Structure 1
Amino acid sequence: MKKIAVCSGSFDPVTNGHLDIITRSSEIFEHVIVAVLHNSKKKALFTVEERVELLKEATNHLEHVEIDTFNGLLIDYMKKRNAHVIVRGLRAVSDFEYEMQIASMNKKLAQEVDTVFMMTKNDYSYLSSSIVKEVAKHDGQIDDLVPEHVALALKERFKGNT
């Protein structure tokens, strides 16, 4: 059986921390699907379509990595895609409790799906999309936090807002 892993999230925007997890996942699993969640309750900076394009450009050098979107429960998406592994990145111990609750619920909903937790590199342990957006909004230095094309997209989005 082909081991398909799914890295899901909002990726608003994709950061170097996300890319660290995606890249390392692609070295472990035969196929990695980066699934962008349609979350109507969250006010996103970039549309789902824009996030998909930013992710495609950021991962185009990685073989066996696919970018997709989904609505609803991740477990339903996993079943639809015949995937059996969820990869979740952890930045710090504070992430673990929340992620453990989600993993436990996912296991209850689908016994055949496992969650793998992967620690981000120390360089990215403080990094989140929210922090990146806040720094970019105030014209701060983000070039080492996100890929170049994402930094340009953020600068363009916040142009005139400072």
Structure 2
Amino acid sequence: MTTADGATIEGPLIYQRGGQYDFNTGMWWSTFYQRWFQVDLKDCCFGEVEATDTGMKFGSSIFRGLLTMSGTYHKFRFQLFARGPTTTWMEAESPEFTVTCYTADTVNELDNLQSGEAGDARAALRELHQAVAYHGWIPQEQRGFHWYSYTYLFPRVIY
């Protein structure tokens, strides 16, 4: 594909190796091509961060939960689920972190984290945010229901 200024561009490579979005100009800086691209936010993909319970942490967690009734350890990760015009997919995920769960509704336990667990969860969320922003997802002010439910837009490049 050739842009208006005569440069040859391969679409998917615009976001490869990251870059940054300039909110003032509405342009994307491509680290790969070392230039600015105009983008369109009207016809784009939408993404929202969701929490996924990846399972119980085995070992002492089972015995602790059965013997003391003081909760079980569960592993979680944050995932960015993206929606386009025709499909939904999981775009990126954070490293796992551990949370002590006291009820069967494990995902809602994330809204009431203790200080040590909250730090691990925030670090995982920060790592996910940095990764998706680097690859072209633009953070939005609006959020979903939970404190971690950040939303993003992935713009369409105008050639």
Give the structure-1-normalised TM-score.
Answer: 0.23
Structure with greater proportional helix content: 1
Larger Rg: 2
Give the structure-2-normalised TM-score.
Answer: 0.23
